[in-house]
Amino acid sequence: NLNTNVTKDIILFKYENPKYFKYLNLFGITQFGFWMYLSNFSYTTLRDAPVSKESAGNLSWWRRINLGENKYRNTIAIFCALFGYVVLVGSWTYTLKAVRFLILRKGGNSVSFVTYTPFGKNRIMDVPLNKVSAADSRHNAKVHLPIKVQGKYLYYMLDMRGEFTNKQLFDATAGLRRKFA
């Protein structure tokens, strides 16, 4: 029996690692730029150079492919562009779902998720406790503790290298598994 009706805001979890997320986002932006450049380069530079029918029989399969042909050139350009977007969106999504602080608000009826953002600021989201469900207990989580917020896409991730500053209060509030109706 733990009193969760707190008189002031209490930090339940904190994970300070802004340098990691800065490098992760720098990686994502760099990869995006590289793959966009490669997409543009492949689209504008690959030229149609057909292989003659007579010499095609003696060549290896990879020498017979004409990368300048429209179907190959367009496929390579689209693949490179999509891959760049996937890396950027993946790094930003991971950053936006990584919890920096989890704060139990005064009264004990809601929690605030403070997450990292791609450009170094914090994002704060207040959520009622009945809309928060931990996917696992903090004792069983190895690398990340996923927390689902009802109505939000994907899980919020608590890195287990972070510090649970008030373990009993976390277990009695945000650390519970709830069924959403």
pLDDT in tens, 25-53: 999 999 999 999 999 999 999 888 777 77
What pLDDT, on a 0 to 100 scale, did the predictor assign at position 113?
A: 98
Contact indicator for 50, 67 with CB cutoff of 8 Å: no
- Are the C-beta atoms of 159 and 98 separated by less than 8 Å? yes
CA neighbor of 103 nearest in space, from 17, 15, 22: 15
Kindly list the distances between the CA atom of residue 173 and the CA atoms of 8, 133, 149, 167, in Å, as whole numbers in the listed order: 15, 9, 13, 10
Q: State the pLDDT at residue 181.
A: 73
Q: For residue 39, what is the enclosing H or E element?
A: helix 18-45
What element of type H or E holds 88? helix 70-97
Residue 62 pLDDT level (bands cut at 50, 70, 90): low
Band (152; pLDDT cuts 50, 70, 90): very high
Spacing of C-alpha 108 from chain mean position: 29
Q: Name the pTM for this structure.
A: 0.85
